[in-house]
A and B are shown apart, each in its own frame.
Chain A
Amino acid sequence: MTTLNFMVGQEQGNVPVTVLRVEGDIDAATHKSLHDKAAEIIEAGSTHILLDLGGVNYMGSAGFRAIHAISNMLNDGDTPGTMKSAHLKLLSPTDAVARVIKTLGFDVYLDIYQDRGEAINSF
């Protein structure tokens, strides 16, 4: 698959949360579209994004770079005294993606949830 499909939903938890569901492989060919979609959402005013990876079967390093860039766009790249982003969280990574997240230690930097409701209320 050379393109990503996106679904954007708005949820109200403790704060308004934009749920961005991605479907497709996030690789060197597609990472920019994820970056651009997130930029569009942030430009439109979103400050808290839950990235739903339930439809992503492969994520290469380009995908992780895009996620970092999204985290930076949300302007919490250097939140003092904290390791994890307060503005970007991940939802339901598939087994294959979860393995890479664990190998690279990305779970150290981003909260990962399996339950959508719990994730939305965690912001």
Chain B
Amino acid sequence: MDNSLRSTETRIETLRKCEFLQGLKGSVLSDLAAKAETLSVDRGKKIITRGEDGSNMYFIISGSARVHHGEVILANIGTGDVFGEMAVLDSEKRSASVTAESNTLLLVIERDMFYESLSTDPNAFKAVIHGVLQRGREIIREVKTRSTKLMAYEKEMEIGRQIQAGFLPNSLPALENWELASSFVAAREVAGDFYDVFKLNTLPHLAIVIGDVCDKGVGAALFMTLFRSLIRASSLYGNVCSSLVDAESGSASITAGEVLQNSLLTTNRYIATTHAGSSMFASVFFGLLDTDSGELHYVNAGHESPIIFRQNGETEVLDITGGVIGLFPAAQYAVEAVTLNKGDLIFAYTDGVNEAKNPQGEQFGESRIMETTDPQDTSPDKFLSMILDAIYEFRGVAEQSDDITMLALKSQSKTSTA
């Protein structure tokens, strides 16, 4: 260590840099400098701990440190800055922790020594009070700046929420012999959940889509609009120029499986190539239901497995048939089919349901979905509200960390016999 750093002149110089000591006379500063001790702290070492008692204040001669609450950094400080003075002045517990960011040399003054030095000059207390008030005003200014930034952040979140809400269906199609219900509960931070339900124009099928775009914030909301729009557009209009569609009648020899493949391959390739650099992806369950026969063709691209609650009390999960979409241009998606018979209910959801956490950090899980309710005598609407109630009860006081999106569809018709 350079001994000059420990000299009285250096100590006085260090103290003089401190704003709330600037009003002190040279003799008081000299007295403080003489009483102070130097302390070398290695990088990464915690100097003071929040909540503990403390009677020392520290002045940074050289080096740097972070002021923090656990992982949250409140400020980065360096040469010339002071910390720990609040607990010395008001005798309260330490309000934050401070950890050395680099090898740091400190000047340390103990509370009793500090007051002893001040008592040598009648005006010293007045000067320190003035300095502390100045510092208080600075803190108020900083709080104002931060709250302005917070408001901007909240505004951005609100924009994200509006984007997301604007791309969810206003209403669900009315269907004969089928009951349909949806539920969407947005998390405080914008996430990228979406769902869509619409009738195909080329086939007598109902399209059911539920998805979750990775990440959070406005970016997730924007990509959600892209995924949702591409899936809908390619399903409705992706085949209009195809020879498979009769130009006059509009009838098609295209199959439900081909519509699914065409839509997801188009959406995946577009995002995986045009937006390759963003590495944004979505998990999507996309089903096409023949509302006459009850046959459901589907692709599950890396999404939570929807559950079919059969009328006979059995359950069936529709596992993934491919990976998430938006990343790898060569991705392929297998189409599977299952038939929904009278009284069967299919429940599709996003991970805000099964990954909802209670205060102990446990997840709601698929098993609790299965146990929540017997859907046999329950309408889809009622079914979703019972699931939601169960999630709320399970979660207790824990915060909702992700969007909760759910779709339920139940056959009321006499379709094929199982």
Distance to closest chain A CB from B72 (angstroms) = 11
Residue count of chain B within 8 Å CB distance of chain A: 24
Which residues in A have their C-beta under 8 angstroms from that of B301?
Answer: 105
Which residues in A have their C-beta under 8 angstroms from that of B328?
Answer: 68, 71, 77, 83, 109
Tell me if A's interface is mostly helix, strand, loop or mixed. helix
| B323 touching A78, Cβ below 8 Å | no
Within 8 Å by CB of B323, from A2, A66, A106, lies A106
Residue from the set A68, A77, A79, A82 with the largest chain B CB neighbour count within 10 Å: A68
- Interface residues in A63-97 by Cβ distance below 8 A to B read 64-66, 68-69, 71-72, 77-83
Complex A-B: 30 CB contacts under 8 Å: A61-B214, A61-B215, A61-B281, A64-B214, A64-B324, A65-B215, A65-B280, A65-B281, A68-B279, A68-B281, A69-B279, A72-B279, A77-B328, A78-B272, A82-B330, A83-B330, A83-B332, A102-B320, A103-B283, A103-B302, A103-B320, A104-B323, A105-B302, A105-B323, A106-B324, A108-B322, A108-B323, A108-B331, A109-B323, A109-B328
| Contact of A42 with B by CB under 8 A | no
| Contact of B65 with A by CB under 8 A | no
| Contact of A62 with B by CB under 8 A | yes
Within 8 Å by CB of B272, from A77, A79, A107, lies A77
| Contact of B23 with A by CB under 8 A | no
Distance to closest chain A CB from B31 (angstroms) = 43
Distance to closest chain A CB from B356 (angstroms) = 16
Question: How far does the alpha carbon of A62 sit from the alpha carbon of B280 in the complex, in Å?
Answer: 9
Interface size class of A (residues with CB under 8 A): 20 to 34
| Contact of B238 with A by CB under 8 A | no
| B330 touching A103, Cβ below 8 Å | no
Distance to closest chain B CB from A115 (angstroms) = 23
| Contact of B257 with A by CB under 8 A | no
Which residue of the partner chain B has the closest CB to A29? B71
Which residues in B have their C-beta under 8 angstroms from that of A72?
Answer: 276-277, 279
Which residues in B have their C-beta under 8 angstroms from that of A79?
Answer: 330
